[in-house]
């Protein structure tokens, strides 16, 4: 039976701002959704996936990537645009791809005549093996907006408006985000790439943002990893704020007590490991440590042993 890796991440507390470059009037807006009956802000899974790819690029793994991002512009180059040898590339194997091409000719049976076949398009694709949820804020959005003004002549467009500063407003949210991920290493062309995924997640820095005006640390402040035979995560969006302002995971503790999650499958790192209810799992063979990197390194060892990787 295949082994599955599930993860739940809570980021550091920070000030989040626009992550998609859209505005309402002169207000740069945050993405929002209704969550548990209240408005929360959210960051897309696509933004997280792009940040993972960008980490690999910056971490010296660019030679393993098919899509290479340019440092000079928001553009990229393909090593293998036809995805003929996708197994060789870390990003194609883990993040998947789709290349849809239209038929070279348009037409239908009436236009092409009797006996002629319609020319159909083609699609080369691979489903992403790394699945990532949307990141959801741990606290509701209360509608905070800051007033800002670009300095006189800050940009060519600002210069064209005259000698006055250019005012604008920005929605901001002081919060943490939580998101989950799932990966089955045995579905990868190279099972060792699971370690590249874990390295990216534990070292994730800026995700999205607003023209570099804001830096939000998306690396895990706390992390829960589950290495299991179970096909279902059973722990997504489980982080809650504790009464002392810290983090807790009451749903995970309850599901462990109920037998839905085995404690020996859990690797918990960061401040959440000190939560009173969580510490009770230590005597039941869960791996609890103060540091997220320590937890990640320990789950790597378990993966190596179970998958017989050197």
Taking the domains of the chain in order of start, what are their residue ranges?
4-99+125-307
Q: State the CB neighbour count (10 A cutoff) for residue 225.
A: 29
Phi and psi based region of residue 25 (left: phi greater than 0; alpha: psi -120 to 50; beta: remaining):
left
pLDDT above 90 covers a percentage of the chain that reads 60
pTM: 0.87
Q: 């039976």: which residue's tokens?
A: 1
Q: Is pLDDT above 70 for 74?
A: no
At 120-164, the pLDDT tens digits run 667 778 899 999 999 999 999 999 988 877 777 666 665 565 666
The 10s digit of each residue's pLDDT in 235-288 is 999 999 998 889 999 999 999 999 999 999 999 999 999 999 999 998 889 999
pLDDT above 60 (res 3): yes
Q: Which residues of 31-56 are buried (b: 16+ CB within 10 A; e: fewer)?
A: beeebeeeebbbbbbebbbebbbbbb
């Amino acid at each position: 039976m295949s082994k599955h890796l599930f993860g739940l991440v809570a980021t550091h507390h920070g000030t989040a701002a626009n992550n998609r470059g859209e505005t309402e009037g002169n207000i740069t807006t945050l993405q929002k959704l209704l969550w548990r009956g209240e408005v929360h802000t959210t960051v897309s899974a696509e933004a997280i996936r792009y940040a993972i790819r960008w980490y690999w690029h910056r971490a010296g793994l660019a030679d393993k990537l098919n899509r290479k991002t340019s440092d000079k512009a928001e553009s990229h180059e393909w090593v293998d645009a036809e995805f003929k040898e996708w197994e060789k590339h870390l990003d194609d194997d883990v993040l998947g791809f789709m290349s849809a091409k239209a038929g070279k000719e348009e037409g239908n049976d009436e236009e092409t005549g009797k006996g002629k076949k319609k020319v159909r398009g083609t699609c080369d694709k691979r489903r992403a093996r790394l699945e990532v949820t949307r990141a959801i804020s741990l606290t509701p959005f209360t509608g905070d907006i800051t007033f800002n003004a670009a300095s006189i002549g800050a940009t060519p467009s600002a210069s064209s408006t005259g000698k006055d500063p250019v005012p604008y407003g920005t929605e901001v949210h002081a919060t943490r985000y939580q998101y989950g991920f799932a990966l089955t290493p045995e579905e990868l062309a190279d099972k060792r790439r699971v370690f590249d995924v874990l390295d990216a997640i534990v070292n994730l820095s800026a995700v999205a943002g607003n023209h570099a005006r804001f830096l939000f640390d998306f690396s895990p402040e706390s992390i829960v990893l589950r290495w299991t035979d179970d096909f279902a995560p059973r722990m997504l969006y489980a982080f809650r704020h504790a009464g002392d302002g810290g983090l807790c995971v009451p749903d995970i503790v309850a599901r462990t007590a109920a037998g839905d999650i085995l404690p020996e499958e859990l690797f918990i790192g960061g401040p959440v490991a000190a939560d009173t209810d969580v510490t009770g799992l230590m005597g039941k063979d869960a791996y609890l440590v103060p540091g997220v990197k320590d937890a990640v390194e320990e789950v790597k060892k378990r993966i190596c042993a179970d998958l017989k990787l050197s």
